Amino acid sequence: MIQTTIETVIRKPVPEVFAYIRNMENQTLYNSSITASEVVPDNPNQFKIQIDLGIFKLTEFYTLEEIQENHLIVASCHSISMLFTDRYEFKDSNGNCHLTITDRMELKGLFKLSEGLVKMNLKSQMMENLNSLKRILES
């Protein structure tokens, strides 16, 4: 299992950051691995996403498992090739949002052979995505 945690302070109030991230369709704007994200009809807590990890491309479902308004979002994706859970934690920091994101990923089957490569690149990619998110929200 690969676990990666990143954090930053975004110069916007927690409710604004929470609302933006809660809408998982916004992921295509700041997450370089997500090429498409759309809510599943009749299920507002599930999104059909297209993931491009360079070495492979997947179309999967990303499900909001837990939501604590303005505090926590837990979302997961279960597929034949991998399982990952993202935990977004929101805290007020003098009127700004302190955001912590933890990704837990387990690769399965033949994809497990690429774990070392994924582990090396995941943190830097997550930081790039977080910096993109920060730029969007602070502009």
Concatenating the DSSP letter of every residue in 6-34 gives: EEEEESS-HHHHHHHHHSGGGHHHH-TTE
User: Which alpha helices (H) appear in the chain, and where do they start and end?
Assistant: 14-22, 27-30, 115-138
pTM for the complete prediction?
Answer: 0.91
Closest CA to 89 of 105, 65, 67, 104: 67
Banded model confidence at residue 81, pLDDT cuts 50, 70, 90: confident
The CATH fold of domain 2-138: Alpha-D-Glucose-1,6-Bisphosphate; Chain A, domain 4 (3.30.530)
* Per-residue model confidence (pLDDT) at position 45: 95
Banded model confidence at residue 54, pLDDT cuts 50, 70, 90: confident
